Amino acid sequence: MNALLQYAVQGLAAGSFYALAALGLAIIFGVLGVVNFAHGAFYMLGAVTAAVLLDTLNLTLWWSLLVVPVLMFAFGVVVERLFVQWLLRLDPLYNFLLTFGLTLVLVELVKQKYGVSGLPYTPPEALQGRVELAGVVLPRYQLFVFLFSVAICVLVWLVMTRTRVGMIVRASTEKPELARALGINVGRWVTPVFGFGVAIAGLAGVLSAPFRAITADMGNNFAIILFAVVVIGGLGSIVGAVVAGFLVGLVEAFGQAYAPTFAQVLIFVLMALVILVRPAGLFGRKEATA
């Protein structure tokens, strides 16, 4: 029982990174129609930035959770204005070429600057060690990651369902052309939405900093699993992205515990099963099957 709960919390913490990143990916895809293959690199940049801020300015995780998303938002805005905006009218192949190319550039730049060995990261003392809950001893940091991510997901969900911005994002995701014909300037939302998606990938990176080896390559494997998450949840579905993120985290954690060599394979087995039963993903809309 104790072990099971520990694996579950570990899985939910790992799933938090997937959920947050997939959330950003889903919103970007919904509004821009761009599948952002650079999302893993943005996640890596978030973690690296947190490590650099800690090392140079002694900014702790608390500060990084605030500062890094802001920096990443600005970075996302620049990337969107410089590159991504030109993709919107083009064949999706160009979107792959650009965002994948961007990944290679960012990864190599980080390698040049910070090398290939991992950067160190220590979380604040308050988040170190273990905490005993109802007789089960759990790592404090993993619990924090899970709760923090859930809070962010709930916040995004509230914005999406209760505000005019959310209404516009949902409408332009579902029927972009109609939204324009109804007087919504969809183009105006493209840049902030991309920035937001990048910011939240960066936030996932910050959260993972004390938990993962911080290297230029940390986003590569992450991105592969992230796409499994998106396919499982249903491309463009925000709820699907979050649910599938946590689900994949759990599969990964239990896989590592009971069948370490198959842990990653299990994720793709899950993906294959989901596609067999529901081709559009767990929460995907039917149109996506066509």
Partner 1 sequence: MLEVTALNAWYGEAQALHEVNVRVGEGEVVTLVGRNGAGKTTLVRCLIGLHRQVSGAVCFLGRDVTRLPAHQRARAGMGWVQDDRGIYASLTVEENLLLPPSVSERAWTLKRVYEAFPELAGRRKAGGTTLSGGEQQMLAIARALRTGACLLLMDEPSEGLAPVVVARIREIIREVKATGVGVLLIEQNVTFAATVADRHYLLSQGRIVETLDTADLQRREGELLKHLGI
CB of 20 to partner 1, least distance (A): 21
Quick one: DSSP state of residue 290? -
Residue 184 makes contact with partner 1 by CB under 8 A: yes
* Closest separation in Å from C-beta 23 to partner 1: 16
Number of residues that bind partner 1 (CB under 8 A): 18
Least Å distance between CB 92 and partner 1?
19
Least distance CB 193 / partner 1 (angstroms): 16
Do residues 147 and 9 make contact, with C-beta atoms less than 8 angstroms apart? Answer: no
Residue 165 binds partner 1 (CB under 8 A): no
Contact call for residue 182 and partner 1 (CB under 8 A): yes
215 makes contact with partner 1 (CB under 8 A): no
CB of 168 to partner 1, least distance (A): 7
Q: How far apart are CA 223 and CA 253, in angstroms?
A: 17
Q: Which of residues 175, 258, 269, 272 is near partner 1 by CB under 8 A?
A: 175
The residue within the footprint of partner 1, chosen from 2, 122, 128, 185 (CB under 8 A), is 185
Q: Bridge-partner residues for 137, per DSSP?
A: 132
Measured CA to CA, the distance from residue 153 to residue 242 in angstroms comes to 7
| Out of 36, 149, 173, 215, the residue judged to bind partner 1 by CB under 8 A | 173
∠ CA 23-24-25 to the nearest 5 degrees? 90
* Cα-based torsion angle of the residue sequence 242, 243, 245, 246 in order, rounded to the nearest 10 degrees: 120
State yes or no: residue 81 binds partner 1 (CB under 8 A): no
167 binds partner 1 (CB under 8 A): yes
Is the CB of residue 19 less than 8 Å from the CB of residue 222?
Answer: no
Q: Quick check: 282 binds partner 1 (CB under 8 A)?
A: no
User: Of 219-248, which residues contact partner 1 (CB under 8 A)?
Assistant: none
Binding flag, residue 272, partner 1 (CB under 8 A): no
d(CA 181, CA 163) in angstroms, rounded, equals 21
Distance between CA atoms of residues 234 and 26, nearest Å: 9
Cross-strand bridge partners of residue 139? 130
Residue 113 within binding range of partner 1, rule CB under 8 A: no
Rg (Cα) of the chain, in Å, rounded?
19
Which candidate, 18, 41, 39, 36, places its Cα nearest to that of 218?
A: 41
Q: Which lies closer to partner 1 via its Cβ, residue 178 or residue 259?
A: 178
With respect to partner 1, which residue has the nearer C-beta, 41 or 168?
Answer: 168
Interface contacts to partner 1, rule CB under 8 A: 167-168, 170-171, 173-175, 177-186, 285
